[in-house]
């Protein structure tokens, strides 16, 4: 996609065209990346509730590593977008390189730590017996795909900052095909491959992620790309640029870590509710994740368009983009929320045959359908705030919502009052709605329009 035009030169029709030329590839990329986990869950779901729970626990712990490269990627998107908006293409290339260096270093460090301490981490959840053994094998394999995923995600984030969302989408598409084929072969032992069950899902993900990383590096060195490291004048570590990336990324990482650690604590309680509750929670999360994808695409677009507009000193254009993004987000959410509320059993049936799990998980999807509107509109506003460089206040709101509402109310409703996993899901609703109003107030104040990126 070309750089965005000056506000006075862009019509509403062109603005809408720019939005959808970015959103549909960004949304499809998110869907395709999410499909790696969804395909694994759908295939593993045929192996029983223990297998589903093991993959859920392993994925939740691996999510801590995901937080790191996701946050670095956000910093890269913001600074690349600002640089492209200001027509400083060499700076955009420098940011992409520095983000890749610090991201891979941090992710590899945490990958090694999780591999070494995998058993005590899982035991902390209260797992034992078959669930512990299956989850341990899965986690110790699955975590090695994270460095490859980091490369792919950070390169993709830099490209999105420059307005290129199609290339990351194509990489995710190729990755998905490989994941489906390899996982199918190894989980069930098809086409002469060994049948290794849950471990086959981990192998499929690693092979797919490694392929995606190789393609991403190739893309970053293409001579005709807007961001091409082949044309970078100097290859060196810039602690100044790394600091700038981290100034944006660390609050984003903290926000995600708040969520990850809160979820880990809550998962300990869910484990004690029984295997059916754990499997229902995991399947609910997986099925619901598809409904988030349009919102993710709109949030990515908000970050990139606001970043480029403010880099070009065009506040009015940034406002127009956000207004249009929110409007179309509401239209998309109406569709996804309706599917969750009215077709929960049909959706869950794609992942498992276990009636008890489906009957419980359907309530999760119906409850989450009710908060799709505030959650996804909030994602657009947070994306816009990130594009302006404002990441600390949303981080604070996330911490308050998770640790003052979700965690204590999950314990109150689920454990003390005895409502089990339904009580946990109720606490999630209260948290999400509260944070929506906090972020809405922050966005409407308008301070993001004049925010300066941290130097």
HSE-CB of 72 using CA atoms within 13 angstroms: 28
Q: How far is CA 285 from the centre of its chain?
A: 13
Residues 6+ apart with CB under 8 A from 118: 61, 136, 139, 140, 143
> What pLDDT does 52 receive?
80
Q: Is 1 inside any structural domain?
A: no
Asked if the structure places residue 383 within a domain, the reply is yes
How high is the pLDDT of residue 62? 80
Residue 2: inside a domain, yes or no?
Answer: no
What is the reported pLDDT for 455? Answer: 46
Whether 278 and 58 have beta carbons less than 8 Å apart is answered as: no
Residue 123 domain boundaries: 7-450
Per-residue model confidence (pLDDT) at position 9: 62
pTM for the full model? 0.74
Q: Which pLDDT value is given to residue 127? A: 75
- Give 120: exposed, middle or buried? Use CB within 10 Å, 0-12, 13-18, 19+: exposed
- Whether 145 maps to a domain, the answer reads yes
Contact call for residues 55 and 201 (beta carbons, < 8 A): yes
Ranges in the chain, pLDDT < 50? 1-7, 454-455
Q: Which residues contact 108 (CB under 8 A, 6 or more apart)?
A: 147
Measured CA to CA in angstroms, residue 408 lies from 18, 134, 374 at distances of 43, 30, 22
Q: Is residue 49 part of a domain?
A: yes
Q: Could you give the C-alpha distances from 242 to 68, 98, 352, 364, in angstroms and in order?
A: 14, 6, 44, 41
User: Would you say 294 and 333 are in contact if contact means Cβ atoms under 8 Å apart?
Assistant: yes
pLDDT digits (tens, 9 = 90+) for 195-250: 888 889 889 989 999 999 999 999 988 877 777 777 666 677 888 889 989 888 88
Residue 98: per-residue pLDDT: 92
pLDDT at residue 426 in the model: 96
How many CB atoms lie under 10 A from the CB of residue 444? 9
Phi-psi region of 348 (alpha: psi -120 to 50; beta: other; left: phi over 0): alpha
CA-CA distance, 159 to 419, in Å (whole number)?
46
Q: Pinpoint the alpha helices (H) of 221-274.
A: 239-273
Does residue 110 belong to any structural domain of this protein?
A: yes
pLDDT of residue 403: 94
Sort 20 into a burial class: Cβ within 10 Å, 0-12 / 13-18 / 19+: middle
Q: What is the pLDDT of residue 268?
A: 86
Number of domains composing the chain: 1
């Amino acid at each position: 996609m070309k750089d965005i035009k000056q506000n006075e030169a862009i019509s509403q029709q062109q603005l809408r065209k720019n939005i959808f030329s970015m959103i549909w590839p960004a949304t499809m990329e998110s869907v395709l990346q999410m499909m790696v986990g969804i395909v694994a869950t759908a295939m593993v779901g045929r192996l029983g509730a223990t297998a589903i729970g093991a993959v859920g626990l392993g994925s939740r712990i691996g999510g801590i590593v995901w937080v790191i490269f996701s946050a670095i990627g956000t910093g890269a998107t913001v600074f690349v977008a600002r640089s492209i908006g200001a027509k400083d293409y060499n700076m955009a290339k420098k940011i992409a390189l520095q983000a890749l260096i610090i991201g891979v270093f941090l992710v590899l460090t945490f990958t090694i730590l999780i591999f070494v301490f995998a058993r005590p981490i899982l035991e902390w959840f209260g797992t034992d017996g078959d669930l512990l053994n299956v989850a341990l094998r899965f986690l110790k394999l699955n975590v090695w795909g994270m460095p490859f995923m980091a490369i792919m995600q950070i390169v993709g984030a830099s490209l999105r900052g420059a307005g290129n969302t199609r290339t990351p989408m194509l990489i995710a598409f190729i990755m998905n095909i490989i994941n489906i084929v390899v996982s199918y072969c190894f989980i069930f032992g098809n086409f002469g491959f060994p049948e290794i069950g849950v471990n086959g899902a981990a192998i499929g993900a690693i092979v797919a992620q490694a392929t995606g990383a190789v393609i991403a590096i190739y893309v970053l060195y293409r001579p005709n790309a807007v961001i091409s490291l082949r044309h970078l004048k100097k290859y060196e570590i810039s602690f100044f640029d790394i600091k700038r990336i981290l100034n944006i990324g660390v609050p984003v990482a903290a926000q995600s870590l708040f969520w990850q650690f809160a979820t880990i604590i809550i998962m300990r309680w869910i484990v004690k509710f029984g295997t059916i509750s754990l499997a229902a929670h995991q399947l609910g999360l997986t099925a619901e994740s598809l409904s988030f994808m349009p919102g993710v695409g709109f949030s990515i677009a908000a970050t990139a368009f606001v970043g480029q507009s403010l880099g070009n000193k065009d506040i009015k254009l940034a406002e127009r983009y956000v207004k249009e993004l929110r409007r179309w987000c509401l239209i998309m959410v109406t569709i996804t929320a309706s599917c969750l509320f009215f077709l929960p059993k049909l959706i869950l049936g794609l992942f498992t045959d276990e009636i008890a799990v489906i009957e419980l998980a359907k309530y999760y999807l119906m409850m989450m359908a009710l908060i799709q509107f505030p959650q996804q509109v909030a994602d657009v506003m947070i994306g816009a705030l990130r594009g302006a460089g404002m990441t600390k206040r949303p981080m604070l709101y996330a911490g308050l919502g998770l640790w003052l509402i979700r965690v204590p109310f999950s314990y109150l409703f689920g454990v003390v009052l005895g409502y089990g996993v339904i009580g946990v899901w109720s606490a999630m609703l209260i948290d999400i709605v509260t944070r929506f109003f906090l972020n809405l107030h922050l966005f409407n104040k308008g301070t993001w329009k004049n925010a300066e990126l941290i130097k």
